[in-house]
A and B are shown apart, each in its own frame.
Chain A
């Protein structure tokens, strides 16, 4: 065979395609896509946090005037929408992407190009939603967008248009990803990886995908109705035409409550990976953890109307939803106790990841308890729509989801980057976050119990609310400092961190058997799995001598050396997503049909071309 000498420009081009910015734009590698999700969510996390700082500064004193009422309403709407759809969900998606194939011993997800498409559509949705700020028309009717406030009659501006279309885009991304991961987990498990041997994070993610696949169609319907009302003059929510606004509420919460579990179950999964490793014990009650996750998800579809006790559904419905909601406390409690059981009798190593994991148990418990209080309608009628609820769900979402995600980020940092993250800075980050979180959200319990309504731009003096509001504001700024420190630590450790080797923590599952960062092909040879903790061989042992342990990485062979065929990098998912972007821009731009059809044409043509191109290069 004759050697072909490439001209330098071609070689440079090739290098760019493999390592530079292009390698991110055309990637179909689940690990790269996972990182794209992670960095994008981190960016939105900073944006959502900044919005929170504005909110807290406005509430620093009674009758504050830092921002106008209209701006405030945009801030809290975007804070909620951002943190739910652009932060916690995609942070979880980052872990789905990065971890699931590694944990089940696969080389990639089932549909790598669809996976890239999900990411690009998610990015588009986030940008679309936030571009509204530039037009001074950010969504302003709350993340729950109750009709009829969202209808044209009461919100004539572009604000709600951005929200409606943004949600549609994000829903598309979530649905595509859900089907992808369901297929991946069912079909791509390594030999011997039975369902009941799957790592618990993969299990919780698996359950989450079903929640996504079943609940997002509901919000899609609800939002489509609203979109039709706003763009084509239909009357699904038009009060003047006799519409019943409870239609929206039922649809929204039928999605919205499973959504809560979409936000929390992946974090539960991450913590269930972290605690055993640093306790040097297997997870206590593995099967019960799996079943309780399923039960939470199942019951999660039957409790939506507990968000609506104040709408007057009547005593029978109130009682039914109340009891259903209390029932969901049982599997949740079981999880808490099983985590305690995991710690019990272990030898605990307090790494930063472990601290965040333990913090989740401590803080989620508080959110869970206040949740049971809301399950009782007579009591809830005094609490709903007050700051007590704000306290409750921040304990669940910050104290639960974010703590779990931080635990996961510290735990998997070495696997993602190949470097060790500074535990010293991590420790400071943990304590600042823990203190800041409690300082911000605990006083909100008192604000709620002393009558302060939610979503209020301002409050009057002499109501006894100054002190608690000030504490919360101080806490919010503490959290901001903590988060900046985290970002600093993240990027600094990428430069200065010691190499991590395969397994800095003495991990139990397959992802720790391969180099960090994992090679493109993940596993040189697909593993044969014989237990739930394949890396422990029945005994976790004391783990590495120091935490975390630094290892000199072994040389990694390339895919072509090993003869592994990988999917061809392709820009088609990105181009298809851009087509959607053009179409949606056309919709918001006074229904510009030229743009709409142009975008749709790009989308359809790219999709057609994509479907006709094989995933992997053909063999010759």
Chain B
């Protein structure tokens, strides 16, 4: 990096406590800090923001120091001199009109330059990603690879990524604080945003435009991986899940006595692409990308399920109306579940993707996530109809197996 021309300013305004506090916003304790961004544009924005912050701190200290000085120096004293009857001072007034104007010009020039730079056309050969906002989850499509996925976004390090942003319903805003500034998803419009991620890592993403009941729960995860790993991920996602097809004939109706141990999972040879999922290894997730949302107590008891039976149940359950599993169902209202088992979270980054949470989710999504458009399916909640606990456990096991 070349020496920043504004480094001078930084020496001027190295004001202690506030600055320290502000810069403390880079540590590992604040994983979503907007400072220390991990993309090319991010660094430039970061520099500009720091410059503004430091300049602002300078102005702050200057004004407050004058104020505090005036308050102490000119407080009323018995027998002190009377107030000076000054009505104004033209020189001073011109001065404090002109000087702020000059300071603002110093801000305006790099601002306008960076606006045009970040909003230029994305470079040729950038990775195209379509982002579609839904109440309250994210759909990601890679048209280049014919991949459709949800709530977890994989990006290769070092390649420019060009997002085209649309919404299926109300407005949303696509924000990954550690990577880049946000961009709104506007109904009946397509927005664009591009940047080049430059360090491998797992990051949080948020919806930043209020979008209704579960706005707070419309999160996503971003995994920036090496180009090789990204290629593996793509290959894996492109492979149809052999699992449900193979089980189509093997599945038997559920007639297992309660409390019986679950039958051993069926052995199906996995393809190389399935073994090398390319996904972020679950055991090395940083703790801030693992959701800690507590499981509602009423949904906390779960029984083991059988994936094979689950596959059969899924095909006749209401699930298929909304969800796509390649080769099984073609619903488009909810997230694509083709490789749901290889995701780290469910419900738009709200819960970890494990058996207990999947079971609870299928049983009563609206309790798990306010306003969820996935309906309550558990027979327990619905009285009549719906899916039994065993059926739900089976479906959960099946979904987990969709690596």
Contacts and interface: CB of A to CB of B under 8 A. Distances in A.
A334 B177 contact: no
Interface in B202-232: 204, 206-217, 219
Interface stretch (B25-33, B154-162, B332-340): B25-33
B112 to A, nearest CB: 5
A510 to B, nearest CB: 19
A5 interface: no
B291 A453 contact: no
B63 interface: yes
B371 A348 contact: no
Most chain A CB within 10 A, of B35, B52, B187, is at B187
A314 B29 CA distance: 35
Contacts of A365: 59-60, 63-64
Contacts, number: 309
Interface string A431-459: 00000000000000110011111111111
Nearest to A379: B49
Given A340-B67, A376-B48, A457-B215, A345 B97 contact: no
B111 interface: yes
B44 A378 contact: yes
Interface stretch (A171-179, A254-262, A381-389, A561-569): A381-389
A345 B83 contact: yes
Contacts of A286: 87-88
Contact of A312 (B84, B169, B192): B192
Given A284-B88, A334-B93, A378-B115, A312 B191 contact: yes
Given A149-B210, A362-B67, A451-B34, A284 B86 contact: yes
Contacts of B180: 381
A288 interface: yes
A282 B53 contact: no
A357 to B, nearest CB: 11
Interface string B143-160: 000000000000000000
Contacts of B371: 69-70
Given A329-B100, A343-B74, A148 B187 contact: yes
Given A68-B370, A245-B187, A345-B83, A288 B115 contact: no
A446 B29 CA distance: 12
Interface string A305-348: 00000111011001100110011011001101110110111111
A34 B80 CA distance: 39
Contacts of B175: 385, 453
Contact of B76 (A246, A349, A540): A349
B119 interface: yes
A343 B63 CA distance: 13
A50 interface: no
Interface stretch (A117-125, A218-226, A236-244): A236-244
Most chain A CB within 10 A, of B101, B177, B371, is at B177
Contacts of B85: 281-282, 539-540
Interface in B80-115: 80-89, 92-93, 96-97, 100-101, 104, 107-108, 111-112, 114-115
Nearest to A242: B188
Interface in A40-82: 62-63, 68-70, 73
B228 to A, nearest CB: 29
A382 B177 contact: yes
B292 interface: yes
A110 interface: no
A154 B212 contact: yes
A69 B183 CA distance: 24
A78 B52 CA distance: 33
A410 to B, nearest CB: 17
B173 interface: yes
Interface residues of A, number: 100
A575 interface: no
Interface in A267-307: 279-282, 284-288
A361 interface: yes
Contact of B34 (A330, A377, A382, A462): A382
Nearest to A458: B216
A341 B214 CA distance: 50
Interface residues of B, number: 98
A333 B96 contact: yes
Nearest to B21: A446
Contacts of B187: 148, 239, 243, 245
B7 interface: no
A344 B118 contact: no
B126 to A, nearest CB: 17
B184 interface: yes
A376 to B, nearest CB: 4
A464 interface: yes
Most chain B CB within 10 A, of A312, A377, A449, is at A449
Contacts of B119: 314-315, 318
A459 B291 CA distance: 10
B82 A337 contact: no
Given A336-B63, A345-B83, A243 B188 contact: yes
Given A348-B75, A373-B53, A451-B178, A319 B115 contact: yes
B88 A142 contact: no
A381 B175 CA distance: 9
B170 A315 contact: no
B184 A312 contact: yes
A287 B300 CA distance: 69
A18 interface: no
A141 interface: yes
A63 B212 contact: no
A280 B83 contact: yes
Given A379-B52, A382-B45, A464-B30, A449 B92 contact: no
Contacts of B215: 73, 455-457
Contacts of A233: none
Most chain A CB within 10 A, of B33, B86, B180, is at B86
Contacts of B107: 326, 372, 375-376
Nearest to B24: A446
A68 to B, nearest CB: 6
A528 interface: no
Given A340-B70, A380-B181, 13 more contacts: A62-B292, A148-B169, A239-B188, A244-B188, A284-B87, A340-B63, A341-B86, A347-B80, A372-B56, A378-B114, A379-B52, A384-B208, A463-B31
4 shortest A-B CB distances, which residue pairs? A381-B181, A451-B32, A456-B216, A451-B177
